Amino acid sequence: MNRKSIALFASGNGSNAVNLIDFFHNHPQIEVKTLVCNKADAPVVSKAKIRGIEVLTFTNEEFESGLTVLQELDYRAIDWIILAGFLRKIPVNIIHGFQDRIINIHPSLLPKFGGKGMYGKYVHQAVIEAKESQSGISIHLVNEEFDQGKILAQFKTSVDPEDTCDTLSEKIHQLEHKHFPIIAEQTILNS
């Protein structure tokens, strides 16, 4: 049986990317083949290289055209893309090239607190300011609109009155690290 090849897209520190790389290490059916990044100096780059993962970096201009990225993914026979803290909108030609094969994670219970500019601390701040009693993560497929693709799974955590952006962020990270690899694995294997 052919293993499914994954390209991880990440822009920052890379805790979710590293978690996915470690989860799929020696997996019998799924392989993380490459990491795509739009920042050559992002901490995730060195973390992926240390784990033996090929890293491709593109300028924002190259990324926005999507053509070079698509060609490189095609050349490597990539089957799925997983966004793990990638902060750029995916170009339409990449979305069409990987129709229903791009998985993203969002740090709120979509459709609440999604859309352009809603990432990381901005989401957590909005959740706290709205006095929500719950937040969580949404794992979803990517379409042409920010955070509006089909939701694959959601997991919740309480928002306590004393929570800050940092404490809520930590709760969300725990959910991400626990559930993201498993839902990605199930989605890929059941496709």
Coil/strand/helix, residue 119:
coil
Residues that are catalytic: 106
Are 114 and 139 a contacting pair, CB within 8 Å? no
How far apart, in whole angstroms, are the C-alpha atoms of residue 155 and residue 179?
8
How far apart, in whole angstroms, are the C-alpha atoms of residue 114 and residue 10?
18
How far apart, in whole angstroms, are the C-alpha atoms of residue 67 and residue 70?
5
Strand partners, 104: 140
Closest CA to 70 of 82, 81, 54, 86: 81
Q: C-alpha distances in angstroms, 115 versus 2, 23, 24, 62, 118? A: 36, 28, 29, 23, 6
Task: Give the tokens for residue 87.
Answer: 């902060």
**Torsion from C-alpha of 63, 68, 74, 77, nearest 10 degrees:** -70
